[in-house]
Amino acid sequence: LKTYADKELKDAKDWMTATFMTLKQYDSIVVKIGGLNSQIAGLNSSLTDLENRLAEKYPIDLADASDSIKSKLGDVVAELNERLDNEAKAITESYTAAIAKARDAIEEAWKASLKKSIDDCEASMKQWVNETLTGYWTIEEVKAELEAQMADIQGQLEAKKTFLNGLINANVGDLKALNDKLAELDGAVAQNAADLKTFENDLAQAKIDLTNAYTAAINDAVTKFEGSFPDEIKTRISSVNSDLDKKKTEIESKVSSFETSVGGLEAKLSEFLNASQASRIQSVSWFPTSTDGKETLYYDKGDKDFPGSENYRYIKFRFEVRPATEAANITAELLSARLLYTKTRAAAGDVEELDITDFSNASGVITVTIDASKVDKDVIDKKISASVAVAVGNVSTKYVPLKAQALGDPLIRYETTDGKMLPDSEIKGVRAIDKIGFFCTREHTYGRIDFIGEIGELDLNIGRDTWEGATMKKIKVCRDVAMYKSGGFGIFQNQYKLEFADLEKLDVSKVDNFARMFMECTHLADLRISSWTPKPQNMARAFEHCQSLKELDLSKWDVSEVEYVKKLFYNCASLKKVTLNGWKLANFNKKITDYTRKEREEHVFSGINCRNRDFYIYVKNCDDKTTVETVKRWVDNSQIAGGEPLNKGLCKIITN
């Protein structure tokens, strides 16, 4: 119990001690806070007193300080001015003395330098005079040489002058003769004009006489002879007609004579002008384009489908004339080309005249295209050699050796019925587009069409309108090339003289419109398109009136999206076999209704002559019966001729 009581008493004592200790601390803090408050009040009082004192004393102290500073500054400025005056005076005196000294030194140096320059100049002049006198005889020698050359040049000029005067005198005679001929021509023209006037008057009078005679005859016949013509009137009419025929014959004879006379004078005038132009040409020089000293003979290797194409050969020959000013006046009539065969180095062979087909003039260099079809094949085979020369009038280049070079296959070969180049109007639609989208430059000679640059796509449109003529007989695409998508419509339409078309290398895989492609190619018997793999949408009239075709294989054509086949083989009268293996016409069949049938599939096979001969349609390897049924429907709706059903003829559909 005692222990417990002691413990409790101890705890109570500790609590009281702690409590009273806290109270003591609180009292101490209160006392300190009171002291702080007193100090703050004192500080506030001191600050207020300080502010009052500053407010009263600051202006006074500031004024006193300002006066003191002004006084000191005045003293310093006065002292500084005095020092500046002294320094300026000292500097001026020193500067004046230095200038005087420098002037004396410069005068002395200038005198010495001037004397040296005069001495150097004198020495240089003496040296120049000595050198000039030393070279005096050399100058005299050069002068004498120049005078000799001058005399030689003057002699040459006199010779040229004499030569030109001779030409001029010769031309004067020609001019006089020409003037006489022209005077004669003028007289003939005047006489013919007078004769024509007389004939016109006679013809007019004859017309009047004839009219009067016929009128009188008719009147007499009506009034006196009751509409009949007696022998007397018939004789008079015959006499008038005979006189009229004689007058007409005389006029035609005079006009023909006049035209002949004018033609002869024009020929003489042209000959004289050409001779006059040629006489002004002093020299003609070959313009080489290679370092081997030879000109190139280009030749075609030939194509078995175009017999004679191996004879296509040409030479591009460039030359200059002197004086150069005469180059612009050269005409085709003045130009000629000759080929010289050289069988051995020691002996010359035959000379062959060659035709010049074209020439151009660019910056004084004249380029001629020479038809080399006459050149012997042995030159190409290097069995013999040959040289070529070009002449302007009587002035010729030297003979230039030839080297043969084969031409590559052109993009397109062709042949015409008349053996002439296709006119630009017929090939204006033959265009090539490069990889970027620009048109390529076309090159065209007879039988060959090509383009400069890398071809991206080809537009082969040679279709003709019905009123336009056509001369193309054969065509062949010789290199692989793609036709652009919209380039199929009517591209050979109305080429009614076309017999052969090899289009195997023409890629038509992007083309979707084949409508009227070969329409009216009535003589086309050999059409090579077995490699074609298109996916057409429109095939209407594609082979209409191809009356000479006997077989067509379209088995590689994907027709799953075709929409129009109207008159596809219409009037292909000679057709014996059409191969449509693998065709899929299910989608096409879905689009056919009673309203669309006429526009989409009318007369597909009409006009094929199978009355007395077999006509086969192959429809093998089709996935469903729809294709076969569709082809049968086309046959049932077609006619041989005059309403006779095609299915009544010898038409056979082969399905397996």
Task: Give the model's pLDDT for residue 165.
Answer: 61
Give, for 263, the enclosing helix (H) or strand (E): helix 231-279
Task: Give the model's pLDDT for residue 135.
Answer: 46
Structure confidence by residue, pLDDT tens digits, 544-566: 999 999 999 999 999 999 999 99
Task: Give the model's pLDDT for residue 345.
Answer: 43
Task: Give the model's pLDDT for residue 77.
Answer: 58
Cis peptide before 323 (omega within 30 of 0): yes
Structure confidence by residue, pLDDT tens digits, 382-408: 999 999 999 988 888 999 999 999 999
Task: Give the model's pLDDT for residue 209.
Answer: 67
Region 361-365: mean pLDDT is 80
Which bin fits 419, alpha (ψ -120 to 50), beta or left (φ > 0)? left
Task: Give the model's pLDDT for residue 272.
Answer: 52
Q: For residue 492, is pLDDT > 60? A: yes
Whether the Cβ atoms of residue 575 and residue 548 lie closer than 8 Å to each other: no
Structure-token match 């280009």, residue found: 298
Give pTM, 2 decimals: 0.57
Q: For residue 522, is pLDDT > 90? A: yes
Amino acid identity at 171: N
Q: Any idea what the Cα angle at residue 207 is, between residues 241 and 246, rounded to 5°?
A: 40
Task: Give the model's pLDDT for residue 600.
Answer: 92
Domain ranges of the chain: 1-133, 156-279, 283-407
**Mean residue pLDDT across the chain:** 79
Whether the Cβ atoms of residue 300 and residue 309 lie closer than 8 Å to each other: yes
Quick one: pLDDT band at residue 537, thresholds 50, 70, 90?
Answer: very high
Rounded CA-CA distance 507/480 in Å is: 7
Q: Which of 133-137, 199-203, 367-371 has the highest mean pLDDT?
A: 367-371
Structure-token match 């006066």, residue found: 67
Structure-token match 């006059």, residue found: 276
Under CATH, what is the fold of the domain 283-407?
A: Immunoglobulin-like (2.60.40)
Rounded CA-CA distance 310/406 in Å is: 10
Q: For residue 114, is pLDDT > 50? A: yes
Task: Give the model's pLDDT for residue 365.
Answer: 87
Structure confidence by residue, pLDDT tens digits, 57-97: 655 665 565 566 556 656 655 676 677 667 657 665 765 66
Query: Tokens standing for 312?
Result: 């296509």
Task: Give the model's pLDDT for residue 137.
Answer: 44
Task: Give the model's pLDDT for residue 147.
Answer: 65
Query: Tokens standing for 381?
Result: 């085979």
Give, for 180, the enclosing helix (H) or strand (E): helix 136-223
